[in-house]
Amino acid sequence: NAGVTQTPKFQVLKTGQSMTLQCAQDMNHNSMYWYRQDPGMGLRLIYYSASEGTTDKGEVPNGYNVSRLNKREFSLRLESAAPSQTSVYFCASAEGGVNEKLFFGSGTQLSVL
Amino acid sequence: EDQVTQSPEALRLQEGESSSLNCSYTVSGLRGLFWYRQDPGKGPEFLFTLYSAGEEKEKERLKATLTKKESFLHITAPKPEDSATYLCAVRGAAGNKLTFGGGTRVLVKP
């Protein structure tokens, strides 16, 4: 019962480096999400994918790109990392529908120096 | 724009000392108010969904209630294992996403 799996768990980057955060779910969910969590600011939506083949911007999309590779996988890419992107990143998935509840992964702690 | 404010930011309780957490919200057309629990180093875990004013839901020592402007999470006779951050979120009619509050960190001392 893996649920939502995120890799890596920890990452340190230098300013300007690029990296991709991976997320996979095994619950056959339609919707997938990327959030970032910063102290005192709660969870903020970066991008989401309502279904395979579609992606939409959330509240804080600047500096990020996403790919919905297939129904299971949703990746988040930082093309040129900045210190402001130091955060904890969470991937989540949901069955779909108006009142869906989210299932979260365990997070990736990213530091950009 | 949907907004969620949680209070207090932090709460220290003695084991057995009941208390309530507040979640105030503004949203266009509430489609659901969600409570999550988050343990350190982990992702949020779903607790409850409330859909309309007057609705209540319970799970063990937790009870969530909803009015038109706020929700309360009541913790009755808490135990140390109830220590966590509790997050509130709303889904409005306009969007396909949840808007989260900043959370309340609860510490229950034995």
pLDDT digits (tens, 9 = 90+) for B51-71: 999 999 999 999 999 999 999
Percent of chain B with pLDDT over 70: 98
| Spans of chain B, pLDDT less than 70 | 95-96
The predicted-structure confidence for A74-83, as pLDDT tens digits, reads as follows 999 999 999 9
Q: Which of B43, B49, B102 lies closest to A90 in CB terms?
A: B43
- Classify residue A84 by burial, with Cβ atoms within 10 Å: 0-12, 13-18, 19+: exposed
- Judged by CB atoms closer than 8 Å, whether chains meet at B32 and A98 is answered as yes
Report the C-alpha gap between B29 and B17 in whole angstroms: 35
- Judged by CB atoms closer than 8 Å, whether chains meet at B42 and A103 is answered as no
Most B CBs within 10 A among A32, A37, A43, A99, hence the mutation to make, goes to A43
pLDDT value for B95: 65
- Judged by CB atoms closer than 8 Å, whether chains meet at A106 and B43 is answered as yes
Residues 6+ apart with CB under 8 A from A62: none
Which residues share a beta bridge with B103? none
DSSP annotation of A73 reads B
N- to C-terminal Cα separation, chain A: 35
SS3 A84: helix
Phi-psi region of A83 (alpha: psi -120 to 50; beta: other; left: phi over 0): alpha
Which residue type does B40 have? P
How many angstroms separate the CA of residue B102 from the nearest CA in chain A?
4
- Judged by CB atoms closer than 8 Å, whether chains meet at B96 and A48 is answered as yes
Report the C-alpha gap between B24 and B6 in whole angstroms: 6
Backbone angles phi, psi at A63, to 5 degrees: 90, 0
